[in-house]
């Protein structure tokens, strides 16, 4: 557990990082640095998005798989790293 | 032996009854039993042995379909000989012997038609008959038999069940009810063979010649079809069915859900799992790259656009040039005169009004007063469509130093004169004229329709002159030239005590004026509440006035003429000294009708509240105070710029003076001396309600209303006097200053604060007044008037009118300035404190020196103690730094 915490701290300490969320394969948040309502909202929405993206990538080429997803918006950037069992979501504001 | 009678085959049905076919010899007993057996057929039984012998076994060799078997005569004879009486053929022995042919036909009678299973055909003819046309003979014979013998049929039959059909058949069948009568008609015997005579006779001659049966419609017998034969046909069941989709309508549906969450234990489990650890470490590397990438460079930042914005800020001088759009001057009316005030028409675009005054000092005025009376001063209306001739002239009783359009009704104009009077004009009659006449040809009727003598007169007559319709009373008005006139906005009005109350009419009815006679006055254009005696007076006045109205003065404000008194007089007593301030210009906080042009949206909002049609001001009355509701959010504070260069911040509310019981105005809260000479501009920023620009003397200042310490920005003294200043309407943080040498300075606070960002010379004479206006988004104008009487309209270029600075940034700047001010004040205080402290110390020291010196011992002790304390201090410090020399075994704390 300590290693995970340490990794999270290292990410958090980067400039502009607003929040980190770890969710399991079903989309239930395990750990988060944001408040509960935002966490739940992010988890629910991004989980579906990653599923969709992954299936898209696999459809185009079955040998392929999704490794990283970056969603850039006007205000910030959301980065998601998917895995078999977990997703790690980081929200960063690049312009600060 | 057997008597054979050939039966005739073509015998009809109506044959003799009772004739029986005498069959073969009577020894054949079965003929009685079966009376319908023909003679030449002999039914017989054949035993199975015989059948086998002759190969005519029943249902094997001979069948229903193939019942005929030809038997050789010799075989039959042989069989008869062999078995004698036992043989089946014994009864027909004789017949067979006598049989002419060689073969005999044996027919298998399966149906036992003739009583036995076989029958032997006895004659050759019968054989032929049966074999060749077997069908017809077969049919006819049974019919014949059945017709003669009704009851018995060879086949077993069901007893006939009557279902009622025989009745119908009987009905349908034609039967003789009686015997047919036979008549024999013959002629008389003697006429047989006699000659005959024939004659003709016309049938129509006599009525009895013919009998006619004409047809007619017998109404007794209307054929009604009671019965109808129709065929029916049996078909499958038909079923019709329909379907329609259900009409759906939108309906609100709700689901309420709660997100799934893990319990704390589960979270702990997850967090400590190996899986997650591995995942986190593997994911982290990806994230590092991504985050750092974002930090290094923002990929989505548009450099190109940002580049262009930066350039414009430092644009070339040519871009910021104020181009002269038009210039108005009238040779007759404004030459050698000075323009004291400019006002844009609030509703009609392209119309601007200027007040023209004489450039004379007081002495000269007194000396030349007669000349002045002959040429009354004017307010000229200029329109963009006609640069040569003014559209309208308003005559004033004296030089007007300031005037204003009524915001709710731009046809009412109020002006303040040099003699202290307030003047009202009503230009409703000429409003049409002001509404943009393109060409100069069409002119409306003049005031003097008859005279078209001289060209000059003609021209003069074509520009209408309008006289003022009301002036204030001389005794009760100002005692000094009125320098500033402003309308109060229509959402509130002032009551007698100075409390802002709700304005029920929603039109502007009150005016504020100020003059250097140390008072600010509030006037109401409505008729004051009538007292009993004054009504009679007024009536008298009204009658008089109605008689003499030669010059077509509108009667709008007749009730005010020469009797107009101010509603409230606000004195401005000085704070620290006795005496009063002499205001020149003022600015109200909630005066929303500053120089910004009204947008269409505001207009529409307004018209819904305002009563339709022209307001009869004469009918309006000043309401009693009790009826009106006071408004809380209107601030009663206002800023006044004085003759001495001060800015006074005071309230107009009148408080009750305890001593005398009269209503007196209170002392102003703040007063600042900033300018070296008289203040000529006090203007609020159109963007910020609490930022005020004051211009006076050789400098200008920007104030924030809540900051009472001083101006937040104070400009350095310039070489020429600043005559007038105004804010830019589109660019927060930008304003224009007009100078004595005819220069216009454009100051942009965010660009440079120590000098103007742009200077431009307009005329050689001093600038007297400036007013910006926005006609459209592309046309921003600045009206500038000078001492020569010329009105210049300048077009503000894009670089200056484009809001290069947003409101927020200007706000930030002002706040910075405020903090700076605060800081300075604080510094001052602290410095002052320090100063006093040092002074006090010095004082103390001075006094201390007088005290006798301390004993040396004491001082030595004291110094020793000091040294000891110093040593301990040194130790501590060294210890802290970890460079302790004495105690090395103690662990050092590394920070």
Q: Do A7 and B261 touch (CB under 8 A)?
A: no
**B-proximal residues of A, 31-90, CB under 8 Å:** 31, 40, 43-44, 67-68, 70, 72, 77, 79, 81, 83, 85-86, 88, 90
Residue B446 has pLDDT above 60, yes or no: no
User: Which of B271, B294, B301 is facing A16, going by the closest CB pair?
Assistant: B294
% of chain B exceeding 70 in pLDDT: 73
B337-344 vs B351-358, strand pairing mode: antiparallel
Residue B20 has pLDDT above 50, yes or no: no
ipTM of the complex: 0.80
Residue B406 has pLDDT above 60, yes or no: yes
User: Mean pLDDT, chain B, as a whole number?
Assistant: 74
> Which pLDDT tens digit goes with each residue over B650-675?
777 766 655 555 556 666 677 778 78
% of chain A exceeding 70 in pLDDT: 97
CATH class for the region spanning A16-92: alpha beta
What is the pLDDT averaged over residues B5-11? 46
Which chain A residues are Cβ-neighbours of B306 within 8 angstroms?
A: none
At B25 the pLDDT is: 45
Instruction: Give the gap in angstroms from C-alpha A76 to the nearest C-alpha of chain B.
Output: 10
Residue B890 has pLDDT above 60, yes or no: no
Distance (Å, whole) CA B351 – CA B695: 27
Which chain B residues are Cβ-neighbours of A5 within 8 angstroms?
A: 271
> Which pLDDT tens digit goes with each residue over B299-330?
777 777 767 655 555 554 456 778 888 888 88
Query: Which of A15-19, A33-37, B693-697, B706-710 bottoms out in mean pLDDT, i.e. has the lowest?
Result: B706-710
User: Which of A68, A72, A94 is facing B286, going by the closest CB pair?
Assistant: A68
What is the pLDDT averaged over residues B638-650? 81
Q: Find the helix packing angle between A2-12 and B274-296, rounded to 10°.
A: 10
Q: Which letter does DSSP use for residue B619 in this model?
A: G
> Which pLDDT tens digit goes with each residue over B850-884?
655 555 566 788 888 899 999 999 999 988 888 76
Residue B801 has pLDDT above 60, yes or no: yes
Burial B783-799 (b: 16+ CB within 10 A, else e): bbbbbbbbbbbbbbbeb
Token pair for B807:
């409101």
Query: Which of A32-41, B110-119, B238-247, B320-329 bottoms out in mean pLDDT, i.e. has the lowest?
Result: B110-119
At B581 the pLDDT is: 73
Q: Which letter does DSSP use for residue B571 in this model?
A: E
Query: Which of B33-42, B255-264, B332-341, B630-639 bottoms out in mean pLDDT, i.e. has the lowest?
Result: B33-42
At B100 the pLDDT is: 74
Task: For A42, name the nearest residue in chain B, comparing CA atoms only.
Answer: B259
> Which pLDDT tens digit goes with each residue over B182-226?
999 888 888 788 788 888 888 777 777 777 788 887 777 777 788
At B529 the pLDDT is: 60
Name the pLDDT band for A78 (thresholds 50, 70, 90).
Answer: very high
User: Which of B271, B295, B298 is facing A4, going by the closest CB pair?
Assistant: B271
At B854 the pLDDT is: 57
At A88 the pLDDT is: 92
Q: Do A68 and B290 touch (CB under 8 A)?
A: yes
Token pair for B403:
């005037």
Q: Does A28 contact chain B (CB < 8 Å)?
A: yes
Token pair for B136:
């017809």
% of chain A exceeding 90 in pLDDT: 57
> Which pLDDT tens digit goes with each residue over B324-349?
888 888 887 777 788 888 888 888 88
Q: Do A81 and B287 touch (CB under 8 A)?
A: yes
- Which of B257, B291, B303 should we substitute to test contact with A (largest number of A Cβ atoms within 10 Å)? B291
At B857 the pLDDT is: 61
Which H helix or E strand runs over B85? none
Residue A7 has pLDDT above 80, yes or no: yes
Name the pLDDT band for A35 (thresholds 50, 70, 90).
Answer: very high
Name the pLDDT band for B550 (thresholds 50, 70, 90).
Answer: low
Instruction: Give the gap in angstroms from C-alpha A9 to the nearest C-alpha of chain B.
Output: 11
Instruction: Give the gap in angstroms from C-alpha A4 to the nearest C-alpha of chain B.
Output: 6
At B119 the pLDDT is: 73
Distance (Å, whole) CA B828 – CA B812: 24
% of chain B exceeding 90 in pLDDT: 1
Residue B545 has pLDDT above 70, yes or no: no
Distance (Å, whole) CA B420 – CA B397: 10
What is the pLDDT averaged over residues A14-28? 89
Distance (Å, whole) CA B649 – CA B670: 5
Burial B437-468 (b: 16+ CB within 10 A, else e): beeeeebeebeeeeeeeeeeeeebbebbbbbb
- Residue spans per domain, chain A: 16-92
> Which pLDDT tens digit goes with each residue over B347-366?
888 888 888 888 777 777 77
Which chain B residues are Cβ-neighbours of A17 within 8 angstroms?
A: 291
Name the pLDDT band for B774 (thresholds 50, 70, 90).
Answer: confident
At A45 the pLDDT is: 93
Distance (Å, whole) CA B67 – CA A95: 118
For chains A and B, what is the number of CB pairs under 8 angstroms? 90
Name the pLDDT band for B140 (thresholds 50, 70, 90).
Answer: very low
At B160 the pLDDT is: 80
Instruction: Give the gap in angstroms from C-alpha B808 to the nearest C-alpha of chain A.
Output: 19
Of residues A93 and B561, more confidence is placed in A93
Name the pLDDT band for B154 (thresholds 50, 70, 90).
Answer: low
At B609 the pLDDT is: 38
Q: Which letter does DSSP use for residue B763 in this model?
A: -
pTM of the model: 0.51
Instruction: Give the gap in angstroms from C-alpha B583 to the nearest C-alpha of chain A.
Output: 51
At B27 the pLDDT is: 45
At B137 the pLDDT is: 46
Residue B253 has pLDDT above 80, yes or no: yes
Nearest partner of B147 among B10, B15, B340, judged by Cα: B15
> Which pLDDT tens digit goes with each residue over B224-235?
788 888 888 888
Residue B602 has pLDDT above 50, yes or no: no
Residue B19 has pLDDT above 60, yes or no: no
Q: Do B281 and A83 touch (CB under 8 A)?
A: no
> Which pLDDT tens digit goes with each residue over B616-633?
666 666 666 566 666 666
Which chain B residues are Cβ-neighbours of A23 within 8 angstroms?
A: none
Distance (Å, whole) CA B63 – CA B70: 14
Contacts of B305 (CB under 8 A, 6+ apart): none
Q: Determine whether A77 is exposed, middle or buried from the number of CB atoms within 10 Å of its CB (0-12, 13-18, 19+).
A: buried
Q: Do B291 and A16 touch (CB under 8 A)?
A: yes
């Amino acid at each position: 557990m300590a290693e995970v915490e340490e990794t999270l701290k290292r990410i958090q300490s980067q400039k502009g990082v607003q929040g980190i969320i770890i969710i399991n394969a079903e989309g239930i948040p395990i750990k988060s640095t944001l408040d509960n309502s935002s966490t739940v909202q992010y988890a629910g929405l991004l989980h579906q998005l990653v599923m969709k993206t992954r299936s898209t990538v696999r459809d185009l080429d079955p040998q392929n798989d999704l490794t990283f997803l970056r969603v850039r918006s006007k205000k910030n950037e959301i980065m998601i790293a998917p895995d078999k069992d977990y997703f790690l979501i980081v929200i960063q504001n690049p312009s600060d | 032996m057997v008597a054979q009678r050939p039966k005739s085959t073509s015998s009809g049905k109506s044959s003799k009854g009772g004739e029986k076919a005498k069959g073969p010899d009577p020894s054949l007993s079965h003929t009685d039993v079966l009376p319908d057996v023909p003679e030449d057929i002999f039914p017989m039984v054949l035993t199975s042995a015989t059948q086998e012998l002759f190969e005519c076994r029943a249902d094997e060799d001979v069948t229903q379909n193939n019942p005929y078997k030809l038997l050789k005569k010799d075989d039959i004879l042989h069989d008869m000989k062999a078995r004698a009486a036992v043989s089946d053929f014994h009864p027909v022995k004789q017949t067979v012997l006598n049989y002419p042919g060689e073969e005999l036909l044996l027919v298998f009678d399966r149906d036992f038609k003739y009583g036995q299973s076989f029958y032997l055909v006895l004659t050759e003819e019968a054989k032929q008959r049966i074999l060749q046309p077997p069908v017809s003979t077969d049919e006819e014979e049974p019919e014949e038999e059945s017709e003669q013998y009704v009851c018995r049929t060879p086949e077993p039959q069901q007893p006939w069940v009557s279902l009622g059909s025989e009745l119908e058949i009987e009905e349908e069948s034609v039967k003789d009810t009686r015997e047919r009568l036979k008549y024999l008609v013959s002629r008389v015997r003697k006429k047989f063979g006699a000659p005959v005579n024939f004659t003709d006779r016309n049938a129509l001659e006599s009525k009895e010649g013919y009998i006619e049966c004409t047809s007619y419609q017998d109404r007794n017998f209307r054929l009604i079809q009671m019965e109808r034969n129709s065929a029916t046909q049996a078909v499958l069941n038909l079923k019709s069915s329909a379907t329609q989709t259900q009409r759906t309508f939108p309906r609100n549906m709700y689901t309420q859900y709660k997100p799934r969450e893990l319990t704390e234990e589960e979270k702990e489990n997850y967090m400590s799992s190996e899986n997650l650890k591995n995942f986190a470490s593997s994911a982290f590397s990806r994230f590092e790259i991504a985050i750092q990438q974002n930090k290094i460079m923002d990929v989505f930042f548009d450099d190109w656009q940002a580049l262009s914005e930066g350039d414009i800020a430092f644009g070339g001088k040519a871009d910021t040039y104020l181009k002269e759009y038009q210039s108005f001057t009238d040779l007759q009316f404004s030459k050698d005169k000075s323009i004291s005030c400019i006002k844009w028409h609030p509703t009609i675009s392209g119309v601007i009004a200027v007040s023209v005054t004489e450039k004379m000092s007081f002495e000269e005025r007194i000396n030349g007063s007669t000349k002045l009376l002959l040429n009354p001063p004017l307010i000229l209306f200029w329109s963009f469509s006609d640069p040569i001739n003014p559209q309208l002239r308003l005559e004033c009783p004296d030089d007007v130093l300031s005037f204003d359009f009524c915001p709710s009704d731009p046809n009412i104009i109020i002006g303040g004169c040099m003699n202290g009077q307030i003047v009202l004009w009503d230009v409703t009659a000429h409003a049409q004229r002001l509404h943009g006449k393109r060409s100069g040809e069409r002119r409306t009727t003049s005031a003097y329709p008859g005279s078209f003598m001289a060209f000059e007169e003609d021209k003069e007559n074509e520009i209408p002159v309008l006289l003022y319709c009301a002036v204030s009373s001389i005794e009760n008005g100002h005692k000094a030239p009125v320098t500033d006139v402003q309308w109060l906005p229509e959402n509130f009005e002032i009551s007698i005590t100075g409390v802002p109350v709700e304005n029920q009419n929603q039109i502007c009815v009150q005016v504020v004026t100020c003059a250097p006679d140390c008072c600010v006055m509030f006037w109401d254009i409505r008729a004051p509440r009538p007292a009993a005696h004054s009504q009679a007076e007024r009536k008298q006045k009204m009658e008089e006035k109605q008689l003499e109205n030669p010059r077509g003065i509108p009667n709008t404000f007749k009730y005010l003429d020469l009797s107009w008194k101010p509603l409230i007089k606000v004195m401005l007593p000085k704070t620290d000294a006795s005496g009063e301030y002499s205001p020149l210009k003022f600015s109200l906080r909630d005066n929303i009708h500053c120089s910004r042009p009204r947008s269409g949206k505001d207009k529409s909002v307004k018209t819904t509240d305002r009563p339709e049609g022209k307001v009869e001001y004469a009918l309006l009355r000043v309401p009693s105070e009790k009826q009106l509701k006071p408004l809380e959010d209107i601030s009663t504070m206002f800023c006044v710029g004085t003759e001495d260069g001060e800015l006074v911040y005071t309230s107009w509310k009148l408080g009750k003076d305890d001593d005398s019981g009269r209503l007196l105005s209170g002392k102003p809260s703040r007063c600042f001396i900033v300018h070296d000479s008289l203040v000529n501009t006090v203007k609020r920023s159109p963007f910020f309600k609490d930022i005020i620009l004051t211009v006076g003397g050789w400098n200008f200042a920007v104030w924030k209303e809540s900051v009472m310490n001083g101006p937040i920005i104070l400009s350095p003294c310039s070489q020429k006097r600043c005559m007038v200043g105004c804010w830019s309407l589109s660019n927060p943080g930008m304003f224009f200053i007009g100078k004595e040498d005819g220069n216009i300075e454009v100051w942009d606070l965010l660009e440079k604060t120590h000098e103007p960002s742009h200077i431009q010379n307009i005329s050689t004479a001093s600038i007297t007044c400036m007013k910006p206006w926005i006609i459209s988004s592309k046309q921003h104008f600045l009206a500038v008037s000078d001492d020569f009487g010329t009105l210049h309209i300048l077009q503000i270029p894009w670089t200056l009118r484009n809001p290069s600075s947003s409101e927020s940034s200007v706000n930030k700047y002002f706040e910075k300035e405020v903090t700076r001010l605060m800081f300075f004040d604080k510094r001052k205080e602290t410095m002052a404190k320090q100063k006093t402290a040092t002074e006090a110390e010095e004082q103390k020291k001075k006094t201390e020196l007088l005290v006798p010196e301390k004993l040396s011992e004491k001082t030595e002790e004291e110094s020793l103690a000091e040294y000891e304390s110093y040593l301990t201090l040194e130790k501590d410090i060294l210890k802290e730094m970890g460079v302790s020399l004495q105690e090395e075994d103690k662990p050092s704390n590394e920070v």
